[in-house]
Structure 1
Amino acid sequence: MEVEEFLNKYSQGLRDFTGINLTEANLSGINLSGANLTEANLSISNLSGANLSQVNFTQAKLNVARLSGANLTQANLSGAILNVANLARADLREADLFQAAMIRTELIRAELSGANLSEANLTGADLGEARLRLANLRGANLSEANLRGTSLTGANLQQANLHGAELSRADLSGTDLRGAELRQANLGMANLTGADLRGANLRWADLSGVNLRWANLSEAKLSGANLSGADLSNANLMNTSLVHTDLSQANLIQVDWIGADLTGANLTGAKLYAVSRFGIKTEGINCEWVDLSPEGDRSQIYRLSAEEASRFFHQTSPTIRIIIDASLDQEANFALAETYYQIYKEYSSFNRPASIEVSERRTTITLRIDNDGQLFISAYLAVCPFENSKIIQENISSIMRIVQERAEEYLLLESEKTELEKITNHVNQINKNIKKIKLDKYLSKNISKSEFFKAPAQVTLTNSSEQALNIYQDSNFGKRFVINNSWENLPERVSDTKSTLPPINLIFDFLRNSYL
């Protein structure tokens, strides 16, 4: 059919042109909205600037076709062949491109928001600065494609193949990249805030300067990847492979990476405030210095020798252990859980439920902490339900005060001057946080009624180097076992009005081998 005849029939209201052959036709700027061009052959045709909205191009051939600036909103291009076609600045919003062939297709600055490109073949395609917000690219082949500066906010790229793709400065915030293939992809300076990369393959990818805040990278493979200067604050890196990964000067503040493999990784200059240093593999890491300042502003730089770096990353979880000389009953158990829940709602760092072991004579309450830096603060909160809480809390404050006052006395060597600065900064931060804590509202009626919370207690902190520090022990602790296992038969029992502090040298050893 000739072009003129085709256009006349369309103008007369005919819309079904299934299988029509319009190769090399000049149809630029025309209106063909709503036409049915299923299995049509439009290869090498000129459709630039045409109105093709809601056109059915199912299984159509559009190889090397010129569609720049065309309106293809809600068009059906499923199974269409668009290899080497020119779709620069075309409007493809909500278009259906399921399983379309678009090898080396030009889509520069094209609008594809909400489009369905699932299982499409976009190998080597140029999507530079295109808009693919909320687009469906599940299982699409984008290997070697150019997506530089492309907007993919909220897009579905699950199981997509992006091997060797150019994604520098792309916006992938909130994108679903679960199980995606991103080997050797260039994501330098890209925005992946809140992206879901669970199980993604990012081996040898360039992620330098990338924004991965709050991203989920659990079970992802990042071996050999370049993450230098990347922002991974609050990211999930649980069980992630980071073998020989470059994390130099990366922001890892409050990252969760339990189970991660950092064998041979470079962590020099990384920001590691509030990061757990246990439960990770760190054999052969390179870490000459780290930034432990809360804001990552290098105000607390710590230099590490190879031996110190090895000790810095620990393998055990810091704990608070509270032993009570009484068996926990149901009423006390409920009151304890309620109080700890109320504390958690106000202080998110108090985020792990207590582990409780109950025997006929004693109860052991164990709280596991994310890092050593939270031990004293968490202990200050954990003792809140107990009758002698004020004494225990005063012990913690006294320990901090003594460290400040006598630090120089116990750190006389020239080599220990940096230790003095570390301890002073840490103690200042603890004191500052303690002053902000308000505990009265956590004391419930159930606690005041229960005898369990009045029983003598012992409180011990254990840092991630497995070093213990007993910060409180009631003078009556253990005595009821001597006389008939009953407090009523122990008339000399009195509440502590003061408590003995641990020796100052033990306190400093504990601080040296924990958070600092």
Structure 2
Amino acid sequence: MDVTEILNQYAAGVKDFSGANLVEANLSGVNLSGVNLTEADLSIANLSGANLSGANLTRAKLNVARLRGANLTNANLTEANLNVANLIRADLGGAQLTQASLVKAELIRAQLSGANLTEANLSSADLREAALRKANLRNANLSEAHLRGAILTESNLEGANLHSANLTRADLRGSNMIDTELKQANLNCANLQGADLRGANLRWTDLRGVNLCWTNLSDAKLTGANLRGADLSNANLVNASLVYADLTQARLIHADWLGADITGATLTGAKLHAVSRVGLKTQGIICEWVDLSPDGDESEIFHISTEEGTQSFFHETLPTVRIIVNAPLDLRANMLLATIYYQIHLKYPILKQTPSIEIGIRKTTLTFRGNNPELFILAYLAILPFKDAAVTRQNTIALVNKFKAPELKTWEIADPKYIIQFTTDPELLKVIGNLSSEIHFFEAPTQTAIANSNNHSLTVYDHPAFGKPLMKRR
């Protein structure tokens, strides 16, 4: 069946040409929308500019075919062979390409948004500046593929193989990259903001200047990765492996890397404001200085001159606020305490975590975790349910007023006025008063102490009767 016969039959309403032999056929610019070419052989055929929207090309052979600018929207190309095919600027939006083979295919500036490429083979394919928004590439093979400048926002790349792929300046914001293979890939200046990279393999990957803000990299493997100048602000790096990674000048402000392994890593010039340094593996790290300024503008440099100093700096304690109440916590008081802290959280979200509670025979210890700049405010908010709240606040203001520059630096207080001028909503105080009134636990003497990340501790308030026999119940 030749091209003329197919076109005549198609014009007469026939659309089923499954198994047709159209090797080297010239079908450029033709309209074959909705055609059935299941298992047809279109190898080396010219389909440039053709309209194949909604076509059924299941298991069709399109090796080395010319499909430049072709319309393949919503086409079914399941298990089709498009190896070395020319699909430059082709529109494959919403197309079904499950298990399709596109080895070394040319897809420069192709439209693949919403396409299903599950388990497709795109090894060494050229996808420069291609649009793959919300595309499904789960378990696809993209090893050594060229994706420079490609748009993959909110795409699904879970379990995909991108070994040695070029993703320079690619846009991967909000993409699902759980367990994705990215070993030795080039992601220089790519945008992965908000992407999910849990458990991903990024060993020896080029991540220079990459945007990883709010990215989930927990349990990710970043051994030997080049993260020079990368932005990891607010990233989740819990239990990540950064062994021998280069984090020179990397921005880690507000990042969470509890339990991360940074053995042998380079951190000179890293921006570490509000970053906990608890539970890290740090043997052999290289770090001459770090930037602790809130904005990462190098206005607050901390120099580290010795290996001992490096180990000391990266093995800090967890900043805490501790309130010891001179009374055991009973069930009723526990229920009211949770209710009160929830009410405080609604008004002041800075109190975002429940305290750990240790109950003894005569005392109850409430421990709140925070970061250094928040400690004084957390101390005041945490004491609000108790009768000692007013005097604790007075002591807090008095202490901060006395602080000189060295003390302010120790406690990482950038603006003392923020703490001094901190006020509590009268309506909130009224709610707390109604809940805690006539409950013995909240009237008991208290002791409030804070400890920062360098284990500097300070008692904010200690009731004169603290530690003495319990007050009689009303």
Fold match (TM-score > 0.5): yes
Q: Call closer, same or farther: CA 1:488–1:29 in 2, change over 3 Å.
A: closer
Please, which of 429, 448, 466 is the counterpart of residue 437 of structure 2? 448
Partner of 2:272: 272
> In 2, distance between residues paired with 1:341 and 1:163?
47
Residue correspondence of structure 1 range 104-183 to structure 2 within 5 A = 104-183=104-183
State the shift of 1:297 in Å. Answer: 2.3
Which residue pairs with 2:450 in the alignment? Answer: 461
Matches within 5 A, 1:393-472: 393-404=393-404, 422-423=409-410, 426-443=412-429, 444=432, 445-472=434-461
Instruction: Assess, with a 3 A threshold, how the Cα gap between structure 1 residues 249 and 282 changes in structure 2: closer, same or farther.
Output: same
Deviation by residue 1:89-143 (Cα, 9 ceiling, x = unmatched): 0000100111011000000000001001110000000000010001000000000
Cα distance change of structure 1 residues 428 and 80 upon mapping to structure 2, 3 Å threshold = closer
What is the CA-CA distance between 1:27 and the residue it aligns to?
A: 0.6
Structure 2: distance between partners of 1:76 and 1:162: 24
Cα deviation per residue 1:362-420 (whole Å; 9 max; x = unaligned)? Answer: 21212233x3333223212211222122222222222222222xx6xxxxxxxxxxx57
Q: Which stretch shows the higher mean deviation, 468-477 or 269-278? A: 468-477
- CA distance change for structure 1 residues 240 and 428 in 2, over 3 Å: closer, same or farther? closer
Say if 2:466 is the partner of 1:477: yes
Q: Is the 8 A contact 2:60 2:81 kept in 1?
A: yes
Distance 1:476 1:394 in 2: 18
Which residue number in structure 2 is paired with residue 287 of structure 1? 287
Q: Corresponding residue for 1:494?
A: none
1:195 aligns with 2:184: no
1:277-301 deviation per Cα after TM superposition (whole angstroms, max 9, x unaligned):
1122222222222222222222222
Cα deviation, residue 466, structure 1? 4.3
- Displacement, 1:428? 4.2
Contact 2:397 2:419 in 1 (8 A): no
- The answer to whether the 8 A contact 1:279-1:317 is kept is no
Report Cα offsets for 1:438-466 as digits up to 9, x if no partner: 25443311223322222111222233444
The SS at the match of 2:437 is: helix
Query: Structure 1 CA distance, aligned partners of 2:426 and 2:115?
Result: 55
What does residue 350 of structure 1 align with? 351
* Matched position secondary structure for 1:398: helix
Aligned residue type for 1:330: L
**Alignment check: 8 A CA contact 1:98 1:118 kept:** yes
Contact 2:132 2:151 in 1 (8 A): yes
Q: Percent identity?
A: 58
Q: Distance in 2 between matches of 1:357 and 1:319?
A: 14
Query: Aligned partners of 2:142 and 2:325: how far apart in 1?
Result: 61
Q: CA deviation at 1:213?
A: 1.0
Matched residue count: 470
Equivalent AA in structure 2 for residue 429 of structure 1: D
Letter in 2 for 1:15: K
State the Cα distance separating 1:352 from its structure 2 match. Answer: 2.2
In 2, Cα distance between equivalents of 1:348 and 1:84? 56
TM-score by length of 1: 0.87
Cα 1:296–1:434 shift into 2, 3 Å: farther
List alignment gaps of at least 5 residues for structure 1. Answer: 408-418, 490-516
Deviates more, 1:267-276 or 1:105-114: 267-276
Matched position secondary structure for 2:412: helix
Q: Contact 2:195–2:216 at 8 Å: present in 1 too?
A: yes
Per the alignment, residue 492 of structure 1 pairs with none
Which string of whole-angstrom CA distances, capped at 9 and with x for unpartnered residues, describes residues 228-263 of structure 1?
111111111111111111111111111111111111
Counterpart CA distance in 2 for 1:146 and 1:329 is 64
Deviation at residue 437 of structure 1 after TM alignment: 4.1
Residues 227-238 of structure 1: pairs in structure 2 closer than 5 A: 227-238=227-238
Secondary structure of the structure 2 residue equivalent to 1:470? strand
Amino acid at match of 2:336: A
Unmatched tracts of structure 2, length 5 or more = none
* Distance change (3 Å), C-alpha of 1:234 and 1:488: closer
Structure 2 match to 1:86: 86
Written as runs of structure 1 = structure 2, the 5 A alignment for 1:51-70 is 51-70=51-70
C-alpha contact (below 8 Å) 2:43/2:62 kept by paired residues: yes
1:66 alignment partner, SS class: coil
**Structure 2 counterpart SS, 1:458:** strand
Q: TM-score, normalised by structure 2?
A: 0.94
**Whole-angstrom CA distance in 1 between matches of 2:413 and 2:454:** 19
CA 1:437–1:162: 2 relative to 1, 3 Å: farther
1:286 and 1:434, CA in 2 relative to 1: closer, same or farther beyond 3 A? farther
Q: Distance in 2 between matches of 1:426 and 1:465?
A: 11
- Computed over aligned residues only, the root mean square deviation of the Cα atoms, in angstroms, reads 1.9
Structure 1 residue 475 displacement after superposition = 1.0
Which shows bigger deviation, 173-182 or 238-247? 238-247
SS in 2 for 1:426: coil
Task: Please give the secondary structure, in 1, of the residue aligned with 2:403.
Answer: helix
Alpha-carbon distance between aligned partners in 1 of 2:340 and 2:436, rounded to the nearest angstrom: 9
When structure 1 is superposed on structure 2, of 135-144 and 383-392 the one drifting more is: 383-392
In structure 1, C-alpha distance between the alignment counterparts of 2:282 and 2:425, rounded to whole Å? 39
Alignment of 1:254-403 (within 5 A): 254-306=254-306, 307-369=308-370, 371-403=371-403
Q: How far apart in 2 are the matches of 1:349 and 1:281?
A: 29
**Mean Cα displacement is larger for which, 357-366 or 246-255?**
357-366
Contact 2:376–2:419 (Cα < 8 Å) also in 1: no
The DSSP-based 3-state class of the residue aligned with 2:322 is: strand
